[in-house]
Amino acid sequence: MLPTRASLVIFGLLVAPFATADEFFESRIRPVLVEHCYECHSESAGVIQAGLRLDAANKMREGGDSGSVIVPGDPEASLLIRSLRYEDIEMPPSGPLDEKIVRDFEAWVKKGAVDPRGDAAPSDQDNADGIDWDAAREFWSFRKPVEHPLPVRNPEWTAANWIDQFVQARLDAAGLKPNSPADRRTLIRRVTFDLTGLPPTADEVEDFVADPSPDAYERVVDRLLSSPQQGEHWTRLWLDVARYAEDQAHIVGKNDSLTYPNAYFYRDWAVSAFASDMPYDDFVRMQLAADVIAPDDRDAHLALGFLGLGPKYYRRGAPEVMADEWEDRIDTVTRGLLGLTVACARCHDHKYDPIETEDYYALAGVFAGTEMFNRPIDDTVKKKGPNAEKPQDAEHILREGKPRDLNVMIRGDVNRKGDVVPRRFLTVLSSSEPRKLDNGSGRVDLAEAIVDTGNPLTARVIVNRVWRQFTGAGFVETPSNFGVLGETPSHPELLDTLAVRFMREGWSLKWLQREIVLSATYQQGGGASEVAMQLDPANRLLWRMPARRLSIEAYRDAVLSAADRLERRIGGPSMEPHVADSTRRTLYSKISRLDLNPLLARFDFPDPNAHSAKRVETTTPLQKLFLMNSEFMNKSADTIARRTLDTAESLPSRIEFLYRELFGRRPSQSEVEWAESYVSTDDAEAWMRYAQVLLISNEMLFVD
């Protein structure tokens, strides 16, 4: 609200010596400010741009994010004047003002920038500078997880292990009870998909169903956990986190110098790390700093692909482009490993979480001191400096660069330098002084800060990621955001106890997976009572196991497996998964940032240009067109049809063969009847059409 003209005059009279200067301001300066500046630079602006208010004398003197905008007496030194002249900043954005107006402003500043307007009351926002760190550390995810005492068991219910006691205590309190266990066919199908990403074979199902021993399930679990396919399956989860890809979104002409033709070395390293149950803390250490931790172990350095396969942007080398690349590294590391959105603090303090811009640049320094390295595969390849000349001859890893601390970039602008921030870990995750990250680039220090058992986030975040693979929903359904805008956990005591025990068990992911699948919670059936559906329709309290849709990887692999076409070779160069003759697991797909494979793109594969917190699930007709019409599906249906005709003679036995191979069960009476009226001959084409219907049915696409 502007003061009235009359009151201004009175104000002017009270400060009589400046009456002329006031007049000048009122007639030449203020109207321009009102007309051209207030929209963005006043209290009434929805967003106060650049933190600069021009609607009160004190505010205008204070300036904004770039510091003061007026140096009374010195127009040349006044950012306001330079901006009006369109010299560095260009204001107003709609076009330069009349030269005459600019000259008025110059004259006004020269004469001392007299501003007769009153001061705005300091609002509460001005007092909030600085974060109360002790208070900030009280937020649930910043407190160290502790092991909770096990809740008392309800003797009426099956509790297979301690996880169930936590789950059932919550159910009890809500007046719910867990479902009875799933039948064995359902169970082996579920656990085989969840641990290996593949369906059980018909024989595996029948063996399990027929096995009377009390530890039959446990033996199945242990067999699956030790299978190489387990490593393949869990690698895909990790590759989403690591935004794994084999090229760049920008490829200029045929210039492949920034691509990663040997990216699969990293993927294969991850497969073997998961298969050998590398402790998660070491898994993280190696991916961040294997070159420093184990300088002589060349193979271990492939782990560095986690960052070494990161996006390289067009015109890299330019300061602003490198700043974008550091943001990618920070985003991947902090969301991926810590469940924190530190990249939000690049241009300003985090709006919700206690992360300051200084925290961001203190971390960015680590990546500024690290180089992307195309290490020559061996001594025979042509080199350019330390790098292999051609990416085809290289392992795409990291090496130490020149250690450096960065200036804060004000508003994220590389040209506006604030104070230098020494490299250090996040303040809120440090109980006192943040750990310095200053050995070399600081990557080893960073890795140690992340996997420190005192770090409240690392174990919780990975435990939550693993949990949601088994239940379809995490304790925290924002798996990469444990901050203020993230969800609060559905089962905080269970999450924390799992996290603490996980660390105590040597950060063993296989231990974690085993504990989860051996729980009665995991083994329960999918039934739904009306009462439970009303009390907890979203199943947050885990009273049932819902039908879950398979990922594109698991579905495609299951189709290949059902057709007995699946090639089981582990590792090696990548392939195109939509091609009819590609028979390797979907994990081995080429992953392109430039042109993602159309099959993957169509089925919710995440954009590999950035870290993916979790898969989004969509159901579209275009997906179904692939199922109905593609050569890949036709060929798979063909193969199955031929196997059926070759294996079984009678119509009922053929139908039964198909059901056992695809679903691990016998067909129902009605299913046999429908099949008999659909396909009644030995015609391979008709069997192909029938097999295809089964392949694209919901039973094939979902796991109970």
Partner 1 sequence: MSLSRRNLLKRSGAGFGTVGMLGALQSTGALSGMATAGQPGVVAAPHHAARAKRVIFLFMNGAPSHVDTFDPKPALEKHAGEAPTDDNGKKRAGGYMPSPFRFGAHGDSGVVMSELFPNLARHADDLCVIRSMHTDVPNHEPGLLLMQSGHQQPTRPCMGSWLSYGLGTENENLPSFVAISPGLPVVGPQLWSSAFLPGRHQGMEVNTNHVEVDKLIANLNNPRLSRDDQRRQLALLDQINGRHRQSRPADSALDTHIRSMELAFQMQSVASDAFDIRRESQATREAYGDTVYGRSCLLGRRLLENGVRVVQVFYVTKGGKQPWDTHSNNNEGHKKLCADSDKATAALLTDLKQRGLLDDTLVIWGGEFGRTPYAQMNKSKDLKKAGRDHHNTGFTMWLAGGGIRGGMMYGTTDEFGMHAVENRVHVHDLHATVLHQMGIDHTRLTYRYSGRDYRLTDVHGRVVSDIIA
What residues numbered 167-226 form the site for partner 1, per CB under 8 A?
Answer: none
The burial of 631, by beta-carbon neighbours within 10 Å (0-12 exposed, 13-18 middle, 19 or more buried), is given as exposed
Query: Residues binding partner 1: what is the number (CB under 8 A)?
Result: 108
What tokens does 139 get?
């937020």
- Residue from 230, 387, 455, 480 binding partner 1 (CB under 8 A): 480
C-beta closer to partner 1: residue 300 or 322: 322
C-beta closer to partner 1: residue 226 or 529: 529
Closest approach, Cβ 470 to partner 1, in A, equals: 17
What tokens does 631 get?
């050569």
Residues 369-428 that bind partner 1 (CB under 8 A): 408, 410, 418-419
Residues 16-75 that bind partner 1 (CB under 8 A): 46-49, 51, 65
- Residue from 1, 6, 121, 129 binding partner 1 (CB under 8 A): 129
Contacting residues for 345 by C-beta, under 8 A, at least 6 apart: 355, 356, 357, 359, 360
Query: Distance between terminal CA atoms of the chain?
Result: 63
C-beta closer to partner 1: residue 315 or 568: 315
C-beta closer to partner 1: residue 502 or 522: 522
Residues 484-503 that bind partner 1 (CB under 8 A): 485-486
Token pair 């500078």 in the structure block, residue: 129
602 binds partner 1 (CB under 8 A): yes
Closest approach, Cβ 564 to partner 1, in A, equals: 21
Q: CA Rg, the chain, in Å?
A: 31
- Residue from 164, 331, 395, 661 binding partner 1 (CB under 8 A): 331
Closest approach, Cβ 244 to partner 1, in A, equals: 16
C-beta closer to partner 1: residue 124 or 156: 124
Residues 257-316 that bind partner 1 (CB under 8 A): 311, 313-315
DSSP 484-516: TTSPPPSSHHHHHHHHHHHHHTTS-HHHHHHHH
- Residue from 76, 122, 678, 684 binding partner 1 (CB under 8 A): 678
Contacting residues for 124 by C-beta, under 8 A, at least 6 apart: none
CB 305, CB 396: distance < 8 Å? yes
669 binds partner 1 (CB under 8 A): no
- Residue 131 and residue 661: Cα distance in Å, rounded? 61
The burial of 447, by beta-carbon neighbours within 10 Å (0-12 exposed, 13-18 middle, 19 or more buried), is given as buried
Closest approach, Cβ 394 to partner 1, in A, equals: 23
Closest approach, Cβ 537 to partner 1, in A, equals: 8
Tell me which residue of 535, 633, 519 sits closest to 168, measured CA to CA: 519
Q: Which secondary structure element, helix H or strand E, spans residue 388, and what is its range?
A: strand 387-388
Closest approach, Cβ 129 to partner 1, in A, equals: 5
C-beta closer to partner 1: residue 236 or 602: 602
The burial of 648, by beta-carbon neighbours within 10 Å (0-12 exposed, 13-18 middle, 19 or more buried), is given as middle
Residue 399 has φ and ψ, to the nearest 5°, of -145, 165
249 binds partner 1 (CB under 8 A): yes
Closest approach, Cβ 125 to partner 1, in A, equals: 4
Which residues on adjacent β-strands are paired with residue 406? 421
Closest approach, Cβ 343 to partner 1, in A, equals: 7
What tokens does 553 get?
């990887």
Closest approach, Cβ 327 to partner 1, in A, equals: 9
CA distance readout (Å), 482 to 387, 427, 457, 468, 497: 39, 16, 8, 15, 17
652 binds partner 1 (CB under 8 A): no
C-beta closer to partner 1: residue 77 or 625: 625
- Residue from 57, 580, 610, 645 binding partner 1 (CB under 8 A): 610
C-beta closer to partner 1: residue 567 or 699: 699
131 binds partner 1 (CB under 8 A): yes
What tokens does 87 get?
């010299």
Residue type, 104: D
Residues 513-572 that bind partner 1 (CB under 8 A): 526-528, 533, 538, 544, 546-547, 549
- Residue from 59, 233, 267, 350 binding partner 1 (CB under 8 A): 350
Residues 576-595 that bind partner 1 (CB under 8 A): 593-595
C-beta closer to partner 1: residue 430 or 439: 430
Say which DSSP state 285 is in.
Answer: H
C-beta closer to partner 1: residue 31 or 598: 598
The burial of 579, by beta-carbon neighbours within 10 Å (0-12 exposed, 13-18 middle, 19 or more buried), is given as middle
- Which range, of 26-34, 102-110, 206-214, 666-674, touches partner 1 by CB under 8 A? 666-674
Tell me which residue of 654, 647, 648 sits closest to 671, measured CA to CA: 654
Q: Which secondary structure element, helix H or strand E, spans residue 189, and what is its range?
A: helix 184-196
- Residue 662 and residue 694: Cα distance in Å, rounded? 8
Closest approach, Cβ 282 to partner 1, in A, equals: 27
Residues 132-171 that bind partner 1 (CB under 8 A): none
- Which range, of 350-358, 370-378, 380-388, 457-465, touches partner 1 by CB under 8 A? 350-358
Tell me which residue of 636, 639, 628 sits closest to 697, measured CA to CA: 628
C-beta closer to partner 1: residue 302 or 461: 461
- Which range, of 105-113, 185-193, 476-484, 647-655, touches partner 1 by CB under 8 A? 476-484
- Residue from 204, 371, 505, 604 binding partner 1 (CB under 8 A): 604
- Residue from 406, 499, 596, 641 binding partner 1 (CB under 8 A): 596
Contacting residues for 646 by C-beta, under 8 A, at least 6 apart: none
The burial of 138, by beta-carbon neighbours within 10 Å (0-12 exposed, 13-18 middle, 19 or more buried), is given as exposed
- Which range, of 145-153, 426-434, 444-452, 610-618, touches partner 1 by CB under 8 A? 610-618
C-beta closer to partner 1: residue 17 or 93: 93
- Which range, of 367-375, 456-464, 480-488, 559-567, touches partner 1 by CB under 8 A? 480-488
C-beta closer to partner 1: residue 235 or 332: 332
- Residue 125 and residue 628: Cα distance in Å, rounded? 59
CB 486, CB 478: distance < 8 Å? yes
- Residue 662 and residue 229: Cα distance in Å, rounded? 19
C-beta closer to partner 1: residue 467 or 603: 603
Closest approach, Cβ 81 to partner 1, in A, equals: 18
DSSP 561-582: HHTT--B---S-S-B-TTSTT-
- Residue from 172, 349, 448, 515 binding partner 1 (CB under 8 A): 349
C-beta closer to partner 1: residue 570 or 594: 594
